[in-house]
Structure 1
Amino acid sequence: MLNFISRHGSEPIQSQLRRGIVDAIHSGQMQLGQKMPASRQLAGQLGIARNTVTAVYEDLVARGYLESRPRLGVFVARDLPAEPGTAPRPRPGDGPDWDTRLNQRPSRLRHLQKPSNWQDYRYPFISGQVDPSLFPINTWRSCSRDALGRSAIDWWTADRADEDDPLLVEQIRSQILPQRGIYARSDEILVTLGAQEGLYLLARLLAGPGTTVGCERPGYPDSRHIMQLSGAAIRDLSVDGEGARLEGAMDLAVLTPGFQSPTMVTMSPARQAEVLDRAARDDILLIEDDYEGATAAPGTTTLRGLDRSGRVAYLGTLSKILAPGVRLGFLVADPALVAEARWLRRLIHRSAPLNNQRTAGIFLAEGHYLALQRRLREALMRRHAEVLAACARYLPGFRHPETSGGTSLWLECPEGLDGRALITEAARRGVLIESGDAFVPEEQAGRFLRLGISHIDEARIDDGLAELGRAADSLR
């Protein structure tokens, strides 16, 4: 029954054994009161150390799953709560009519779609994922242990309501923001659950019925969706080789000047000046989503860094350097706006998890973040160059904007080639590419693709794009 130990994965054997016993109990494979195999017997059966089995038994006794009886052995506890049965379903017509009761239906919007098994593809040109080979897991583990020290625990286990970790805020203020030409005080910084939460907070505070919000087209679909759900009217902002343009009347604009999403075009200095001048003249508030600021070349300038009127709210993230699952970002804005965002955040979930904040603060304070950032920038520069060269060799007829870097490449399919069919054929050959449909109007569906380069092994880029080229040839 307990024959589930694997030596090929990253999960420790002790964790596998503990989880396996708990799963066996909950699934009914092991009955309440059943005697467990002796530690020596189970160790021999699984080919693991007896001490490992003993440690797991002791841990599960402490957790209440097992009970130890002197001179008799170890047993499954008898007083575990019974497994719940199947909840009765309401009869048709008895429950609420959700089609009429729901005021919003976010599930019906056009979202980015990524297969959950993307890691199974030999050539995963997927965006938004980090390369685990670059991440210093042992260093992060050490910082996590430091965050569990007595003084740190005393701070972050308390109910801090709307506070952020002062160590992390100081590291953002002194290490991250100056790289983007931004110099801020602590009261101008709010830690968020990634940049996405910052977009949501600002939409609730600044957008809504009666306001017009400019959104890039093509552009990041989630920012458009968030603004749409606020009740604001949406105005499309065209994007060219110098970035987005502020066209028409609006109260607020959401921009990605660093690396425009999804084209990866960097806003030119002339366009930055034009945008800031127009915003000041017509009293337009700007949200600068610098989602890839951490991977941008040093010395590039942000709208927030150039802003002298306080009308730019800046969003940044740690996820592109650390990992998407860390879910830490930050908002930098005028203190009056940050204060209201802090109170709004408190109504949603109070603060971002303070244990994660402290771990990230230690990681930054000890210099690990900047070292990882340098390695990631260098890797992305090499991959970007390799992707451009391989596209020229294997994908003639596909067009892409002139870009200086970023974590993806935006491709326009040749006339007569449907990108949706190419995605299907490429997947059959082990090549994962992303649809560009969510970024563009529905009438342009099947026309654009996105090649992510943040995760794929550099050594596989050429072979992967060669296979993609063969897939495209088979459809012509």
Structure 2
Amino acid sequence: MSTKLTGTMWNQLFQQHAKSGMSLQGNIRQMLVSAILDGQLPVGIPLPSGRELSAQLGVARNTVVLAYQQLVDEGYLVSRERSGYFVNADILAGRLPAQTTPHDRPPADGPDWGRRFVFRPTQQRNIVKRANWQDYPYPFIYGQYDPILFPTADWRECSLKALSVLDIHEWAQDMILRDDDLLVQQIRTRVLPRRGVWASADEIVITVGAQQALYLLADLLMSTDTPVGVEDPGYPDARNIFGSRTGHLLPLPIDEEGLMVSGALHNCDYVYVTPGHQCPTTVTMPLARRQALLQMAEEADFVLIEDDYESESRFQGDLTPTLKSLDRNNRVIYVGSLSKNLAPGLRIGYIVGPAELIAELRGIRRLMLRHPSAYIQRAFALFLSLGHYDSHHRRLSAAYRERAQVLTDALARHLPEVHPVPISGGASCWIVGPDWLDAEELAQRAEENGVLIEPGNVFFMKTAMPRNCFRLGFSSIPIEKIEPGVRALAEVLRHLKPTRPR
């Protein structure tokens, strides 16, 4: 039952909301709304006066009064002359459920959920990242952002512009099958041409990251027996997504030039490939092999799914033309990401393909979630149109180039027994360790010493997978932490090294 809150209780409530990043007035409003909706404030008892509450919380009286008044305007409080502020009883009407008596024992005849699952995603082998990775001194993990490099002021500007009356009129409606026209235009004219890709508006669909793009393609194009070729080693999430649709996944070997063009491709209907920076080895497929791959796609009648997940991220030399830019017969479906190098949490990707395919992908997407957040689409469109995306990419490339060099030097100095693939771009380094190394054990021991790395076995599809490979990401680790982190990793590795028999 609710009781009148004391000064100490008000202080405790306020402290719970004091770290939310809001203003003091916002914190007070949030505190009061939570207390009202949680039933902690009695309806018939007045709240402390503005003077009383400001003294209890140690804030200005006007801050409390303004918070009270805004909650009156929003219907949470009512103001009674000479009596003060009270909880509006109407705000709680129908909100609290009737009290129910708990069951004495659990139901004996509940569903057998294990028998009902079509498949178990939780049993697939996935990349696992610590949720609290930022608490570790040396987080060599891939796919996270560095808050120091995030263009906070530029993104805030675009977010605020997207909240103008005219922009709200555009994105607040249910777009159903459509995407933000400005974002599609920016992708067509600013993003794709740099990769040699030209597309009309009806050949582009926006997705919730490249992840959803792959899921939509699997949903639309693959059945239980569709033969799909995946790189081995390759991207685990693509393997798992396609594997959730078909039981006919074919591992395709990788060499120092990426996916090998071999007779194994003749058995595929679709081939998933990461030619720009192969995942996870980071090697770039040269032009001659790209042309050979496209020629074989023609001869064997298969379709290529090109995941250009680190587009434009090359440190030296010219960018190699994408498969899509070389494609003349709609043999390539192009998947890209806008948010990967900005902030993965924004989740903005896209698919480029023939209009007929894109129309059906929009239909599948509508069944799933209608469309990605129209507000985020508009903010991203403004971020592109105002030149912020290009500026951020230049700063990011310079920072990654510098970090890659520091990492390369540190590996040569402290871990000469390992063999890193030369870093030509992107934000990670693939490393082949000594034959005796178990990278899973290395990762566990390294974590105990504050170093996070990614064991490589999850990238392999084959049962007899190498156990001595691992990946070091450098997108989210400060540059000054790279060398001491590698030194700490080297100490762990040497402790694991087996002693030679006498």
TM class by smaller structure: over 0.9
Work out which of the residue numbers 96, 114, 117 in structure 2 matches 1:82. Answer: 96
Q: 1:366 to 1:397 in 2, by over 3 A?
A: same
Q: 1:408 to 1:16 in 2, by over 3 A?
A: farther
Matched, 1:281 2:299: yes
Q: 1:172 to 1:61 in 2, by over 3 A?
A: same
How much does 1:141 deviate?
Answer: 1.6
Measure, in 2, the Cα distance between the counterparts of 1:475 and 1:9. Answer: 44
Q: Which residue number corresponds to residue 159 of structure 1? A: 174
Matched, 1:363 2:383: yes
Work out which of the residue numbers 441, 452, 457 in structure 2 matches 1:421. Answer: 441
Contact 2:427–2:474 at 8 Å: present in 1 too?
Answer: yes
Matched, 1:330 2:350: yes
Measure, in 2, the Cα distance between the counterparts of 1:267 and 1:33. Answer: 72
How much does 1:442 deviate?
Answer: 4.9
Q: Which SS does the other structure have where 2:129 is aligned?
A: coil
Matched, 1:348 2:368: yes
How much does 1:229 deviate?
Answer: 1.0
Contact 2:227–2:246 at 8 Å: present in 1 too?
Answer: no
Work out which of the residue numbers 211, 223, 226 in structure 1 matches 2:241. Answer: 226
**Partner amino acid for 2:288?**
A
Q: 1:470 to 1:281 in 2, by over 3 A?
A: same
Matched, 1:93 2:113: no
**Partner amino acid for 2:182?**
L
Q: Write the deviation string for residues 51-76 of structure 1: whole angstroms up to 9, x where unpaired.
A: 33233323333444433322222233
Q: 1:406 to 1:465 in 2, by over 3 A?
A: same
Q: 1:61 to 1:429 in 2, by over 3 A?
A: farther
Work out which of the residue numbers 167, 185, 191 in structure 2 matches 1:176. Answer: 191
TM-score (norm 2): 0.89
Matched, 1:383 2:403: yes
Q: Write the deviation string for residues 412-456 of structure 1: whole angstroms up to 9, x where unpaired.
A: 232333222222222222222222232124543743222111111
Tell me whether 35-44 or 134-143 shows the greater mean CA deviation.
35-44
How much does 1:8 deviate?
Answer: 7.4
Structure (1 or 2) with the larger CA radius of gyration: 2
Structure 1: runs of 5+ lacking an equivalent: none
Matched, 1:40 2:51: yes
Q: 1:20 to 1:394 in 2, by over 3 A?
A: farther
1:1-400 superposed matches below 5 A: 1-3=9-11, 4-5=14-15, 10-27=21-38, 29-79=40-90, 80=92, 81-82=95-96, 91-247=106-262, 248=264, 249-296=267-314, 299-400=319-420
Q: 1:444 to 1:187 in 2, by over 3 A?
A: same
Measure, in 1, the Cα distance between the counterparts of 2:356 and 2:198. Answer: 17
CA RMSD of aligned residues (A): 2.3
Work out which of the residue numbers 456, 465, 472 in structure 2 matches 1:444. Answer: 465
Measure, in 1, the Cα distance between the counterparts of 2:385 and 2:364. Answer: 29
Measure, in 2, the Cα distance between the counterparts of 1:87 and 1:467. Answer: 57
**Partner amino acid for 1:217?**
D
How much does 1:344 deviate?
Answer: 1.3
How much does 1:9 deviate?
Answer: 7.2
Measure, in 2, the Cα distance between the counterparts of 1:285 and 1:229. Answer: 19
Q: Which residue number corresponds to residue 470 of structure 1? A: 491
Measure, in 2, the Cα distance between the counterparts of 1:177 and 1:204. Answer: 25
How much does 1:310 deviate?
Answer: 1.0
Q: 1:212 to 1:129 in 2, by over 3 A?
A: same
Tell me whether 139-148 or 32-41 shows the greater mean CA deviation.
32-41
Q: Write the deviation string for residues 188-238 of structure 1: whole angstroms up to 9, x where unpaired.
A: 111111111111111122221232000011111111111111124111011
Q: 1:104 to 1:183 in 2, by over 3 A?
A: same
Matched, 1:406 2:426: yes
Q: 1:9 to 1:353 in 2, by over 3 A?
A: closer
